[in-house]
Amino acid sequence: MAAFTFVCEGTCPNTQARAGYFITPHGEIPTPCFMPVGTLANVKTLTPAQLKETGAPILLCNTYHLHLQPGESIIQEAGGLHHFMGWPGPILTDSGGFQVFSLSAIRKIDEEGVTFRSPYDGRLVRFTPELAIQIQNALGADIIMAFDECPPYPASPEAVAAAVRRTNQWLKRCVEAHRRSDQALFGIVQGGVYPELRHQAVEEVCRLDLPGYAIGGVSVGEPVELMHAVVRQVAPRLPADRPRYLMGVGTYAEIRAAVAAGVDLFDCVIPTRYARHGTVISRGKRWNIKNAEHRRSLDPIDPDCPCYPCRHFSRAYLCHLIRAGELLGYTLLSIHNITELVRYMQKMRQAILEGKFHENWYPWS
């Protein structure tokens, strides 16, 4: 088989949901799939072995942050991200576009790229599509992302149209700069909340016949109903034989709605960010382990969850760790929260394969 192949194993008869797998040089990714975020080559507070036990088949790292610290040359000398961080499975690196464009107060955009001041030391940094690809080629992830312009919400139609034009021009330059056949370059569809611009972006991005496609520029402050409308519009228009990735989305409702629209891949910092604040996600709900009701509870978070914390520790112990500021508490909650989202995706995948997804979009029963 080719180094990168997407296989659709089953579809929902009443929605656009589909189940499949994406073959990469470091393993198969079953879809739909949630990707934990390891911004600086580390999913916060977890070892690779702990992450593997959650069942996560792939993780995401950040090009922008790794370029600034420690630098792609160091990672390349170590044999690439997989060797550097000790993770044997597939890795996706985003291009840094979202991070660069979130620095609105300290960056300047032109047709060639973006200039900004490093938030680490204040030095001037120049990002271009060519550099974003060069960095990602050095990092060695299985899936790499094109450098794009992510407009904020709200933004005028004129501003978003300019971002779409620039993003599509930059994508062509990314394709030209890409040098490694063992890395799948994904294009990104921008267009804000404007259907005409999204349609235009889909047509232009798909002309390049890439290994996969992403929907960007969502979950940036727009009302959730607008985000769902964008996903329902864009996802079915993307090629059926390629994976579809919704960037930066990780709540239950958003994921299940996007899966129903035909999306395959998701990423979000929610599981570990929640854990650092003592928040547990379980069976579609979230609650705070620090609450008084848990101080004496000898029950696990979820008796049916197979994760290490649920097999070995009570809510009382986890409540104690988080209240005391013990780092182990952050680790244990992160393990559970990631396991929860990974299992959620697995349940949806199974429901699609069994033809039952449309019967229950929250398939825990």
Which residues are the active-site residues? 94, 267
Give how far Cα 356 sits from Cα of 8, 10, 253, 261, Å.
Answer: 16, 11, 18, 15
Give how far Cα 154 sits from Cα of 28, 87, 150, 224, 247, Å.
Answer: 38, 38, 12, 13, 18
**Token representation of residue 13:** 């008869």
Cα separation of 245 and 188, whole Å?
9
* Whether 50 contacts 338, CB under 8 Å: no
Other beta carbons within 10 Å of 224: 13
Cα separation of 358 and 365, whole Å?
14
Cα separation of 107 and 308, whole Å?
44
* Whether 113 contacts 63, CB under 8 Å: no
Cα separation of 323 and 265, whole Å?
34
* DSSP codes of every residue in 270-287: HHHHHHHTTEEEETTEEE
